[in-house]
Amino acid sequence: METAYLGIGSNMGERENNCLKAIHMLEDMGIKVTTISSMYETKAWGVEGQPDFINMCVGVEISLPPRKLLHIIKDIERQIGRVETYRWGPRVVDIDILLYGMLVINELDLIIPHPYMLERDFVLKPLIEIAPNALYPVVQKSIINIIKSRY
C-alpha cells in the first residue's frame, strides 16, 4: 500500500456537495480515504473572472498504480458532471494527484508531484492540515519545511 494525496475542488453547482461526492465515489471504487481536510473557499487560479472554488485535500491508501488512479479520478469527474472546456476554467469537480508516495513521474498526461502544487495556497493549506510532514520527493523535504523556508 502507498499513501497518496489528492486535491479536490469545485466552483460550479453545489460546490461542497460535489467535493464530498468525489470522496464517496473514491471510496466506492475501493480507494481507502484516510484523511480529509477542511474545505477552503478560494479565488480561481490561472483564469480570473469565474466563481470562487471550494478546495480540499484527502489522503488515501492505495495499491493501484498511479495511471490506474488517474483513470479512476477522471471517470469520477465525468460521472459528477465535469465537461472539459479550457485550461483552468470553471468546473463541477477537479481531482488532482498531488503526491503518490515518493514517486516522481513526468509523462505527457501524468505528472507527479503535481507541477503547480507548491505555487497554490489552495492546495498547500489543506495539505498541510492533513499531512504537514508529507515529503515532496523532488527535494526530499516535508511540505511544511518547504513552506517555512519561503518566509
Active-site amino acid positions: 82, 91, 94, 96
Q: Taking a C-beta distance cutoff of 8 angstroms, is the pair 55, 45 a contact?
A: no
Cα 57 to Cα 8, 91, 100, 107: the distances in Å are: 6, 17, 13, 23
Cell for 94? 477537479
